[in-house]
Structure 1
Amino acid sequence: MAQLRIPTTQNVTLEYETASIGERIAATLLDGVVQAGWVILWLTLLFGVFDLESGRNEFTLGMIIIVVIVLPLFVYHLVSEALWQGQSIGKRIMKVRVISLNGTPARFTQYLLRWVLRIVDVSMFYGIVAIACILGSGRGQRLGDMAAGTAVVRLNRRQTAADNSLFGSDYDPNYRVTFPQVASLADHDVRLIQELVTQSEKRGAYHILDDVAERVRTLTGIETNMPNHEFLLVVLRDYGYLASQAAAH
């Protein structure tokens, strides 16, 4: 499995496993099943409603088909990846995601460029260009990824205390947020903090968190004498709890 290595300003290298060709093809096929289901559903509904024998509704039916079938299929990958932070339904099932090469979530312009070049990668040559690029790029990138500065990576990596703090589902109903100021942090900031804490735990090199903790204190205005590693774990836990509460409402 190819490794995507991302150096950070903290002199720590973040490591991701790039998605295999098999995983990406499977995700594409699953997306195809979703799209086919959408088409079948709407065609069944429309042909059940419109009387085609009279010929009077052909124009209206054609316009509806364009709006509710053709257009959604055309923008499916762009919209789903932009809304779900680099994932389509197929990618979610296969647990892979599009990210920027610097480790942060991809921007809309990057999703857009990947989507435009998908015509060359996948549509025009039946995926041959995409497969050739993925095999030869060294980072598992198709042509659209190379142009956009993105990669598709696996999400099922080993969990650590940092992962559980941010993404765990074991929040106590009586949980009390220690630092409500963490709500001012951006998602990509928190994900970078999580990765740095994870790397420090793997290496036992907790000194690399000194600058990170100081930066978080500066950004949020938090004042605490809590040890840096413990402080950042609480920040991740608080942020995860607040995010889960926001999603629930």
Structure 2
Amino acid sequence: MHLFNRVKYRTPESVELEFTLAGIGNRALALVIDYLILAVAWVVFLLTWAVISAQLVDWWTENFGSATAVWLVAIAFIVSFVMYTGYFVFFETLWQGQTPGKSFIKIRVVRDDGRPIGMQQATLRALLRPFDEFLFIGFFLIMISRQEKRLGDFVAGTIVIQAETPVSSTLNISEAAKSLHQELLQITDLSVLLPDDFAIIREYLQRRSAISAKARSTLSLKLAEQVQEILHLEKLPTTSADVFLEAVYLAYQQSGE
């Protein structure tokens, strides 16, 4: 297993993104942090439940003449299990694949195709976690798996990656694109560009810095050619594909104002 394995996936818009897998060390450290948080919550629950149970036993003995604590212990076990699984399900579902531990270490869980996980995937991972931790089965599976998956990941169809740098809502637009977009407004009708088409262009411009140079060059040219066809342009302006896409982005925004 390489120290920094990378994985590629293709979005529904045919955009290829590449991410670094989290690595077993990062995952273990995140799990330790999560277990420390769980341990604190579990101790607080047990102390609270012990006080409540003592009062319930006294009340039961006083009213019914015999004390039984079996059902109180059973409730404690059930609540502990719900806390254990619910912790991971709750946070991974609402925090886009992150728990407090994963957030601190800057890793996250995503589906195999790169989409955010949902409650189903988070639940499967949480329910299978005890099996993964039994005799360190998950550890060995991560070590030998090319995508560093434990049993829960295989069943849920997920991978754990290093968290992306947050995408900035502000795009860096070159001066060449600012000049070109005025020309585009005069020579073509930007209204034929659908909102979904514009969203793909914006997504690429926001995420291009995270794409490898080779993949970025191929992808930008392919995307520029598709946009050229939509806009019925006979040929691309004599500029780079990135500058053309930036210009289309600006022109589309201005045409909608």
Superposed pair shares fold, TM > 0.5: yes
Q: Which residue matches 2:144?
A: 136
The match for 1:115 is: 126
Counterpart-to-counterpart distance in 1, 2:10 and 2:152: 22
User: For 1:64-91, what per-residue CA distance to the aligned partner results, in whole angstroms no more than 9, with x for missing partners?
Assistant: 7467644222322122211211111111
**Would the alpha carbon gap of residues 212 and 148 (structure 1) be closer, same or farther in structure 2, given more than 3 Å must change?**
farther
Where 1:4 maps in the other structure, the secondary structure is strand
In 1, Cα distance between the equivalents of 2:124 and 2:56?
43
Structure 1: 5+ residue runs without aligned partners? Answer: 168-183, 215-225, 236-249
Match of 2:39 in 1: 36
CA distance in 1, matches of 2:250, 2:72: 56
Residues 90-99 or 44-53, more deviating: 44-53
- Residues 140-219 of structure 1 correspond to what in structure 2 (within 5 A)? 140-155=148-163, 163-165=167-169, 193=204, 196-198=207-209, 202=213, 205=217, 206-210=220-224
Q: Deviations over 1:150-201 (max 9, x none)?
A: 10000155x7xxx22279xxxxxxxxxxxxxxxx98xxx8996567533579
Matches within 5 A, 1:17-96: 17-47=20-50, 51=54, 55-56=58-59, 65=76, 69-96=80-107
Q: Secondary structure, in 3 states, of the residue corresponding to 1:165? A: coil
When the two structures are superposed, what TM-score results if normalisation uses the length of structure 1? 0.62
> Identity rate of aligned residues, in percent?
25
**Which residue is equivalent to 2:66?**
none
TM-score normalised to structure 2 length: 0.60
| Residues 1:41 and 1:233: Cα distance change in structure 2 (over 3 Å) | farther
Shift in Å, 1:37: 0.6
Cα pair distance change 1:22/1:233, threshold 3 Å? farther
Question: Per-residue deviation at 1:35?
Answer: 0.6
The answer to whether the 8 A contact 2:7-2:20 is kept is: yes
Root mean square deviation, CA, Å: 4.2
Distance 2:124 2:156 in 1: 6
Contact 1:166–1:194 at 8 Å: present in 2 too? no
Match of 2:245 in 1: 228
Which amino acid in the other structure matches residue 135 of structure 1? M
Greater Cα radius of gyration, structure 1 or 2 = 2
Native 8 Å contact 1:130 1:143 kept in 2:
yes
C-alpha contact 2:17 2:211 (8 A) present in aligned 1: no
Is contact 1:200-1:209 (8 Å) kept?
no
What's the CA shift string for 1:43-79, capped at 9, x where partnerless?
3344456645963365896587467644222322122
Report Cα offsets for 1:76-124 as digits up to 9, x if no partner. 21222112111111111111101112111123322232223223212x3
Equivalent residues of 1:27, 1:93 under 8 A apart: yes
CA distance in 2, matches of 1:12, 1:75: 34
